[in-house]
Amino acid sequence: MLPKRLSAIQFALNPVCVVVSDTTGDVYRLPVDRDCNLNDNSAAETRFLLGHFSLVTDLAVRGNKVATCDRDNRVRVSRFPDSFVIENFFLAHQDFVTCVDWVTDARLVSTGGDGVVFIWDLTSDSVNPVSRLKLPVEANKSTIVVSAVVNPSNRDVVALAVDGSPKLYVLLGASVGTELRLGCVHTLDDHKPLNGAFFDSKGTLWASVADNYEIEGFRVMLPNASGNVEKVSLEPIWNVKLSSGDEAVPDSKTTHARTLWLKHLRRKPIVENWKGKKRKSMS
């Protein structure tokens, strides 16, 4: 049992475990074959890994490294499972960070509320990103990226889903070089806003929407032999209808609980207290 609700979760292979973060900014390593109690830290398989001073929004494990990001614009790379050793901090984001994923063993992609996609190189002596791309801003639309995933079969391809938008952005040039570019944009025919995207093991890109107690899955595109993306049918492949009595399911006016949560991550304005010191407002 976790002391607070989860904010991110991922499996790790060495050692085999599940890595989770909660809304207090703590990250834990948990076993996959038995129940555990986080208050009992005596077992080697169950332990606290690392902590942030603010809410952890996403994490990604690859090999002997774990990347985490938080509400306060930070991206952190630590060793895994010896996470007390910090490899890097990346601080270029101007707003909260929502997504982080590994492109290669030495490259990392991150994005968030500022609508900017950054590529980081851990082998570089500089803490500046090797590549960046600002997503196009639509009229009366936010640029909060709610999902950023890397194609496992062609790591040059990154897909992004944006809050409140039916468009899925596919970026190229993530794994090599310093030029991150927009490859193509897929738009759902019924213009329902996306709430997530992911690649399967074969490199097929899938997207999902949640509206009016229904979750639909779409097969969006396939990479061809040259690495370019080919658009396929946007007809829904699967559909799940949820009970309208389930309070945890978003209603017709709320496309996804994570979207609401991300909107509330906007940092509070800085004001001066009675001593003249700056602090976050409580409003």
- In tens, the pLDDT along 113-149 reads 888 999 999 988 788 899 999 988 776 666 788 788 8
Does residue 14 have a pLDDT over 70? yes
Q: Which position has the higher pLDDT, 210 or 32? A: 32
Does residue 248 have a pLDDT over 70? no
Q: What is the mean pLDDT of the chain?
A: 76
Task: State whether 126 and 257 are in the same domain.
Answer: yes
pLDDT at 256: 44
| Span 190-236, pLDDT tens digits | 667 777 788 877 777 777 776 655 556 666 665 555 545 555 445 55
Q: Which amino acid is at 240?
A: V
Task: State whether 227 and 113 are in the same domain.
Answer: yes
Domain-embedded: residue 100: no
| Span 150-187, pLDDT tens digits | 888 778 888 888 887 888 888 888 888 888 988 878 77
Task: State whether 254 and 123 are in the same domain.
Answer: yes
Task: State whether 7 and 78 are in the same domain.
Answer: yes
pLDDT at 251: 39
Considering 39, 57, 91, which residue would you say is the last residue of a domain?
A: 91
Task: State whether 137 and 170 are in the same domain.
Answer: yes
User: What CA–CA distance (Å, rounded) separates 68 from 110?
Assistant: 10
Query: Could you tell me what percent of the chain has a pLDDT over 70?
Result: 66
Task: State whether 23 and 135 are in the same domain.
Answer: no
Task: State whether 16 and 58 are in the same domain.
Answer: yes
Domain-embedded: residue 273: no
The pair phi, psi for residue 262, each rounded to 5°, is -65, -35
| Span 71-82, pLDDT tens digits | 889 999 999 989
Domain-embedded: residue 277: no
Ranges 59-68, 242-251, 259-268: which has the least confidence: 242-251
Does residue 253 have a pLDDT over 60? no
Domain-embedded: residue 87: yes
Burial class (CB within 10 angstroms; exposed 0-12, middle 13-18, buried 19+) of 54: middle
β-pair type (181-187, 167-172): antiparallel
Domain-embedded: residue 278: no
pLDDT at 194: 79
Considering 56, 91, 126, which residue would you say is the last residue of a domain?
A: 91
pLDDT at 262: 58
What's the Cα-to-Cα distance from 215 to each of 75, 171, 174, 184, rounded to whole Å?
Answer: 31, 25, 30, 24
Identify the domain containing residue 214 by its residue range.
107-267
* Greatest Cα pair distance in the chain: 64
Which residues are bridge partners to 28 per DSSP?
Answer: 20, 48
Domain-embedded: residue 171: yes
Task: Label residue 249 by pLDDT band (50, 70, 90).
Answer: very low
Task: State whether 142 and 57 are in the same domain.
Answer: no
Considering 65, 91, 117, which residue would you say is the last residue of a domain?
A: 91
Computed over its alpha carbons, how large is the radius of gyration of the chain? 19
Task: State whether 111 and 87 are in the same domain.
Answer: no
Peptide bond before residue 250 is cis, with ω within 30 degrees of 0: no
User: What CA–CA distance (Å, rounded) separates 191 from 123?
Assistant: 41
Task: State whether 9 and 117 are in the same domain.
Answer: no
Domain-embedded: residue 18: yes
Task: State whether 10 and 58 are in the same domain.
Answer: yes
Task: State whether 190 and 262 are in the same domain.
Answer: yes
E-strand spans in 165-246? 167-172, 181-187, 194-199, 205-211, 214-223, 229-231, 236-241
CATH code, domain with 122:
2.130.10.10
Backbone CA torsion sign across 96, 178, 197, 138: positive
CB distance 97 to 8 below 8 Å? no
Q: Which position has the higher pLDDT, 41 or 92? A: 92
User: What CA–CA distance (Å, rounded) separates 1 from 36?
Assistant: 7
Q: Which position has the higher pLDDT, 261 or 7? A: 7
> Number of structural domains, the chain?
2
